[in-house]
Amino acid sequence: MTIHDMTYPRLREAVRRELAEHDINDPSLSLQEISFLLGLSEPSAFSRVYRRWTGQSPSAARFAAS
């Protein structure tokens, strides 16, 4: 699937995932800040979507990256 074949919701989710995977490695950003930057309603929404994307919690991913 190319970017031209993607619907807006799929494109938005792909961009959010890429940003989340980048930001999770930045220790200066809290998980709450990452949630806000991604436009998610609250940190619990970020935790749920990140686990769906990666199979692990944001905290576990951050620990593994350090």
Domain-wise residue ranges, the chain = 7-65
Q: Which CATH code of 3.20.20.80, 1.10.3720.10, 3.90.1150.180, 1.10.10.60 fits the domain covering 7-65?
A: 1.10.10.60
- Which pLDDT band, with edges at 50, 70 and 90, does 1 fall under? low
Place of tokens 């930001």: 23
Its pTM surpasses 0.85: no
User: Where do we find the tokens 């995932």?
Assistant: 17
Quick count: other Cβ atoms within 10 Å of Cβ 32? Answer: 11
Digit-coded pLDDT (tens) for 10-61? 999 999 999 999 999 999 999 999 999 999 989 999 999 999 999 999 999 9
Q: Is the dihedral of CA 49, 45, 20, 5 positive or negative?
A: positive
Residue partners of 34: CB distance under 8 A and separation at least 6? 20, 23, 24, 46, 58
Which residues, at least 6 apart from 29, have a Cβ–Cβ distance to it below 8 Å? 23, 37
